[in-house]
Structure 1
């Protein structure tokens, strides 16, 4: 390696913090995820500047193989400070990094050519999935080749189990390979024509099932029309056979209603409008040559044929706004076109870099100590991937910050005017990227299997012909360097570093919080917040960076403490007003996606985020509108709905969830839901008893509840010398505040046995280590003033404690409180260790990723 100098985490973090102008989250994300490291944890880059020079050197090295190369400096200037062009995570991590042998591709699809309905084929896909995930790739594959449940088989089982058990198999493999921060994201799909598709749709509604996979159903136009018209639909197996071995007629409407219901309830399955995907797909012009699209990657933005893969890159649309947030705002189309052309070149260079990585992977496999019989499957897998990558040279140029671009232009997201402007930008992007690919075909050669006759009537290319006849003519004459070029992917953690909203999602409004000043030297104030403390709430704004920029440009004081009325007025005049996920016209958002989709040759990964109180009829309308608008896929997430496992809840739990799921303030939906504060503690509180183990020690927490919400906490070792003798069956009780004769206070715990007799444990506060008790006062204080539980947990986690036993106690407090986080609460600032997206939500005290389904408890 050229750069042998290493840096400590603190050194890299400090330099990165300066690079990101004090943004702690961006600095930590970069150091943790993207700084070049070896397997021993040595860090070889001090800041993103080092990383961008590493990328620029390697890209310039490839450029120099071809005519008219870009210089290293030219590439660096496009990447620097994530301003214009942002490669996705895999290229940023892997390019020029000889310390790790990993692919630069973000996503893969695998599949069996010919008959895949055998245990050998099923297990081969399982192995290939794992082999790709360990190299940092997300994987998709289709289950439509597996015979339906009850079909006859020529083995000892006599009949088939159907495809659902294999969903669980592949899901478990993902969870296994994704341990300890390794990447692993899975998409499982099936055709709606498959007789087991209903069981597939229901599979994730069962507790603990298929938690390691996203699932999407491939829906054809015939089914959608039958569902809309309430007509029967024929399912069969094999799904494409002229002589199927099984056929059955179903009510398309009833199955469609089940899809809608499950999506409303759990955000899955996603829907892939398969005929639209195939009809628009340029690679499918070469289906007979192995490029038939069979599934998508885990986020759904890249439909792929078996063993093809794609690298991703995003262009920051906000960077092209001149005079943002002013009446003179305009989009610099000239600079944008210049950079899009270069972005397409960079993507093609990354294909070459990926092919080099594949050679390194194959060389590593060939030198592994295992016998050839063991290594053959993995080696052949990469042979197939190399073949598809070199023949098609598929790329994934996309965008980020669409929402910020519209706001900076003074356009409200979701309006017809904003949609028209976005379509203009994406049309320009498509025409320019394809022109760049044509120019590279002239300089570097077209992709290996290009055939103008096959492509000439493709709908996407005919759209290009209408918009730019000369470009279409050039494509037919010279070909393209790349079989397909464009996508819109979720930018995940890269959007944290660019400080923009990702993809074509609505913008993020500022988050509002309430904070109370408390005398840190007054222990009683921390635990009781008695009225005489007297400090009132202060309102302050945690700004979305572009919102803050709007304030500065318009001369609005960014340091002032605003009253609630002033906040309402300020937000109402901002370009972000009515542009949050809950505010936008959802039908317009879907239509916008469909309009933009016409200028994206792959697909668009976007989720329609809905408030909790919407009904299933709206979900139905949105899906149907997505189909009619030309979307290739659609995922709907209703606030608070399950994104992974569905489990049974009691009536009491349902009431709690219903109360917790009330819609946010219609005027400012981003305001935190601040519950009413009860400053004077009631004499008695309901209490949950939470037991857990840390380092083989038995711990117990007593969590006082007010209206079902944690109000205070007492916790410590259960077996201290003066510990509490508590039957294991006791899980609930009361904490009673008593005033002693000398005016001091104590807290007693009281519970009832099965026969209704009460037992009181006096002096609960004296039963634990005094140091634990003092920290518990602090935590109880913030609980009483209704700081959101996820924020309380962050506060506890941030405590800097030297004593290891206190740190163990701290971990116990975190675990005790997690069970009270409302299901569906976003874990802001945390990224999924599996897919790298900031899409984690709390579910029954565990963290579950809405993007890839990965879960982590404890």
Structure 2
């Protein structure tokens, strides 16, 4: 009777404001943590109704579902025990998909954070390429991040048996997959995609350069799979042979290159734009436990978007983080110590919970398959999607892969009075990660005793794997128990970036050090309000107040040492505080870069998947240093590495120090006199269901002028849909006036010219375009031009549509990370907005608006 009443009970609905206020109290007035939880993880339906008031409701929901799975097995954990482990984000934290999806009846979505897809064999037919495109979209609509490899696509100029006669190479397909990613919405965020290619592929250089053209491949991360042979060739300044197929002993095409020349290009592009990332592929395959079963379908081909989970086709992984800071007793005091006994116990519980989440994921996949079957489309339309999820279900069921990681490494070390990056701190970190490896594998062996091993487990296959041999050397008893009973999971460990997770644990992120112990945020204010301080007025006249934000760990250190966090500090006082704290010389930009790479290599020995870590560098470092770091990463045993040079992509946080005038942004220096010929991009878009087109003249890949108007209609301009670039040529009319012609090459390579863009577009559009173009060519930053356009007060509806189109076209050229001053998030009213891939993205709640 009680059960029936529970089923019939109407769930309580909370408003956004109610949930935000309650969560703000829950997080001790941490506005950012509260907004992230409400917008990303609170249980809600498709109409926006919220069914959870605080994260405590979420943790009870998750505990209830995991306890339900536990009852299927011997010696089940109780619901209360699970709740105690996950509440308050203190010890064990399911990440992303599991947090939002477990026990969620309103969303038919996967619990997996990561997927990799691919075709059987090395098919590069159009059918195979389009199948991957469709599978990518189908996964992203279910909330997953996706990776796939392009090494199977034949290089540019290769013969094909169709009307094209020769292959277009990798880049057009990179653009296709990138565009598909940008089209899929995921509850206020965009999908995530990793594209990879082997350095051995003849088109590797084109792949490496593809994202250097602004506005291209904006929907994907890109990484190059580098083998040991290439790295040795770089070291010895030797030649290197690329071939296709990349793994063939009898390739159809070969290309001899100077290894150092391509290496320098990789290094330069990473220095310039933080991409491509590098995957040391031979290290990944050599160390991979799942690749012991490569012939059974577990051959690793690519990674998830952040690189921490190398996967075989159609495998997936769910993530969970252990909050390392919570195991430090008496933090920031002389009595501080790490409770290894409690930690070992909780690692075992975390692995058990992860295995339960696989069962919950299998239930979710069954729901997705049932939804596909019930959809009204024909079976032929649904075939690719259905086969995709059947393949994913098979891999999850067979291998039962898990992804246990950590967060708060930086805070853990600081609270133990260890400086991140020091020899002592590195040695302690390795000890912690070795403990995780041993205890997680021990838990997986114990689970195999009670629940059975993963289906293909074969100790003979794994006997020479370097990771398994390290476990054997560290704990022979564990190794021989594994030989006897098997293991529940094919692979277990990772270290992922814990962005929003660390906001809610209120700690440093993942394995990273603190970004800044103290920084400033800005909020827009009304200067007429009482008790408001105006720190500066921006270019458009808006008033802003700056306020200090203390990192939570730093704030706890201040409290232990008797410093007030409510006091108003001068910059000099803040500097003095930081210098006396354990966070001094231990921020992202302070840590010795070589030491960090070496730490990653040492920790990697105890992580069977991979590690997502970024080496933060100051703006003035040389390209040579980046190359040296990459080389050291390879030698240290890292599986991958990414560098970020300060300023290569604009950031959103502000140092607490006063700005140096020399560091202020300088206007672009364009020639005021227009060259006769400009390279041009063609951008198509829709406004109010009308088709529009923009021609954007470029100098050094930056907008110099723009012409925009209706397309594909009797009053507009008509060019083939496949044309996306060309030339704008300025010519003289017979009456002495200027005429702008657009020229492009047709598919046979012949030039086609459309004369007189000025005659094709509405004259009023043309006049406004000349005004906007004038601001561009005099060096006004693109985001300011966009602000100017948006601020135009125009009465005519058609002109307003034109205005919106120009702004949309130009936003493609705003550098990722640029702060969008003076605008508010429509979701949470935050002013903390940046441009990301041409879209306004809220850094507080994560929602994104394009156009």
Quote the offset at 1:113 in angstroms: 0.6
1:674 aligns with 2:659: yes
Cα separation, 2, equivalents of 1:396 and 1:496 = 20
Task: Give yes or no for the alignment of 1:197 onto 2:182.
Answer: no
Alignment partner for residue 613 of structure 2, among 586, 603, 606?
606
Q: TM-score, with normalisation over the residues of structure 2?
A: 0.78
Query: How far did 1:208 drift?
Result: 1.8
Counting only pairs closer than 5 Å after superposition, residues 212-251 of structure 1 correspond to structure 2 as: 212-251=219-258
Q: SS of 2:313's equivalent?
A: coil
C-alpha displacement of 1:362? 0.4
d(CA) in 1 for partners of 2:848 and 2:202?
A: 30
Match of 1:402 in 2: 409
Q: 1:576 aligns with which of 574, 583, 601?
A: 583
User: In the alignment, does 2:22 pair up with 1:15?
Assistant: yes
1:567 maps to which of 574, 598, 604: 574
Instruction: Give distance in 2, aligned partners of 1:9 and 1:556.
Output: 35
Describe how 1:3-42 pairs up with structure 2 within 5 A: 4-42=11-49
> Offset at 1:100?
0.7
The answer for the alignment partner of 2:491 in structure 1 is: 484
Separation in 1, partners of 2:535, 2:318: 53
Give 1:463 shift: 0.4
Change (3 A) 1:134 1:273: same
Q: Partners in 2 of 1:202 and 1:671 — Cα distance? A: 36
Deviations 1:704-760, CA, capped at 9 Å, x for gaps: xxxxxxxxxxxxxxxxxxxxxx976345999xxxxxxxxxxxxxxxxx99xxxxxxx
In structure 1, what is the equivalent of residue 745 of structure 2?
none
Separation (CA, whole Å) in 2 of partners of 1:104 and 1:75: 18
- Indicate which of 174, 191, 194 corresponds to 1:187: 194
1:748 is matched with which residue? none
- Find the aligned partners of 1:330 and 1:490 in 2 and give their Cα distance: 26
Q: 2:755 is matched with which residue? A: none
Q: Please say if 1:556 is aligned against 2:563.
A: yes
Q: Which whole-Å CA distance do the structure 2 matches of 1:449 and 1:98 have between them?
A: 33
CA 1:730–1:540: 2 relative to 1, 3 Å = closer
Q: Secondary structure at the match of 1:181?
A: coil
Structure 2 distance, partners of 1:581, 1:59, is 37
1:174-217 Cα deviation digits (max 9, x unpaired) = 01113762541110000010111111111111232111100000
The aligned residue for residue 326 of structure 1 is 333
The correspondence for 1:430, drawn from 437, 440, 465, is 437
Shift of 1:476: 1.4
Alignment partner of 1:637 out of 629, 635, 644:
644
How much does 1:528 deviate? 11
Does structure 1 residue 110 correspond to structure 2 residue 117?
yes
Residue 364, structure 1, aligned to residue 368, structure 2: no
Q: Is the 8 Å Cα contact of residues 194 and 305 (structure 2) preserved in structure 1?
A: yes
Q: 1:144 & 1:449 partners in 2: Cα distance? A: 28
Measured after TM superposition, the shift of residue 22 of structure 1 is: 1.4
Residues 1:296 and 2:303 aligned together: yes
Q: For residue 481 of structure 1, report the CA deviation from its aligned partner.
A: 0.3
Q: CA deviation at 1:625?
A: 0.6
Task: Specify the alignment match of 1:388 in structure 2.
Answer: 395
Matched, 1:729 2:782: no
- d(CA) in 1 for partners of 2:816 and 2:37? 29
Matched-pair contact (CA < 8 Å) for 2:535–2:545:
no
Distance apart, 1:40 and its partner CA: 1.6
Deviation at 1:826, TM superposition (A): 7.1
- State whether residues 456 and 476 of structure 1, in contact with CA within 8 Å, keep that contact through their aligned partners in structure 2: no
Say how many residue pairs are matched: 713
Q: Residue 128 of structure 1 aligns with which residue?
A: 135
Whole-angstrom CA distance in 1 between matches of 2:348 and 2:218:
40
1:700 equivalent in structure 2: none
Where does 1:384-533 land on structure 2 (aligned, <5 Å)? 384-513=391-520, 520=528
Please tell me the root mean square deviation across aligned C-alpha atoms, in Å: 3.9
- Matches of 1:619 and 1:208, distance apart in 2: 25
* Aligned-partner Cα distance in 2 for 1:214–1:25: 26
Q: State the secondary structure of the residue aligned to 1:236.
A: strand
Instruction: State whether structure 2 residue 60 is matched by structure 1 residue 53.
Output: yes
Q: Which of 73, 78, 84 is the matching residue for 1:71? A: 78
1:671 positional shift? 2.7
Q: What secondary structure does 1:386 align onto?
A: helix
The answer to whether the 8 A contact 1:279-1:459 is kept is: yes
Q: Tell me, in whole angstroms, the C-alpha distance in 1 between the residues paired with 2:42 and 2:332.
A: 34
Aligned partners of 1:191 and 1:219 also within 8 Å: yes
- Per-residue deviation at 1:96? 0.7
Tell me, what secondary structure is at the counterpart of 1:640?
coil
* Contact kept in structure 2, 1:137 and 1:183, CA below 8 Å: no
Q: 1:258 aligns with which of 235, 247, 265?
A: 265
Separation (CA, whole Å) in 1 of partners of 2:811 and 2:168: 38
> Which of these residues, 312, 316, 332, is aligned with residue 309 of structure 1?
316
1:729 is paired with a residue whose SS is helix
State the alpha-carbon separation in 1 of the partners of residues 207 and 297 from structure 2: 27
Residues in 2 aligned to 1:299 and 1:469: alpha-carbon distance in whole angstroms: 34
Question: Cα deviations across residues 544-570 of structure 1 (Å, max 9, x unaligned)?
Answer: 111010000111122222233322211
What does the per-residue CA deviation read over 1:601-620, in whole Å, with 9 as the maximum and x for residues that have no partner?
00001111111111100100
What pairs up with 1:576-595 in 2 under 5 angstroms? Answer: 576-595=583-602
Matches within 5 A, 1:678-717: none
Change (3 A) 1:12 1:204: same
CA distance in 2, matches of 1:485, 1:141: 21
**What is the match of residue 705 of structure 2?**
none
Match of 1:172 among 170, 173, 179: 179
For structure 2, the 5+ residue unaligned runs are: 1-6, 538-543, 663-685, 690-766, 792-799
Is the alpha carbon distance of 1:729 and 1:55 closer, same or farther for their aligned partners in structure 2, counting shifts above 3 Å? same
1:86 equivalent in alignment to 2:93: yes
Matched with 1:351 is 358
Deviation at 1:844, TM superposition (A): 9.4
1:493–1:831 CA contact under 8 A, matched in 2:
no
Q: Does the 8 Å CA contact 1:640/1:825 hold for their aligned counterparts?
A: no
Residue 564 and residue 264 in structure 1: after superposition, are their counterparts in 2 closer, same or farther (change >3 A)? same
What is the CA distance between 1:475 and its match in structure 2? Answer: 1.2
Q: Secondary structure at the match of 2:642?
A: strand
Deviations 1:103-161 (A, max 9, x none): 00001000101231100100010110000000000000000111111111111111111
CA deviation after TM superposition for structure 1 residue 323, in Å? 0.8
Do the aligned partners of residues 177 and 141 (structure 1) sit closer, same or farther apart at CA in structure 2, a change above 3 Å counting? same
Q: Retained in 1: the 8 A contact 2:420–2:586?
A: yes
TM-score (norm 1): 0.77
* Structure 1 residues 115 and 854: CA distance shift in structure 2, 3 A: farther
Q: CA deviation at 1:328?
A: 1.3
Q: Which moved more, 1:612-621 or 1:7-16?
A: 7-16
Structure 1 residues 674 and 624 mapped into 2: Cα distance closer, same or farther (>3 Å)?
same
The answer as to whether partners of 2:140 and 2:191 remain within 8 angstroms in 1 is yes
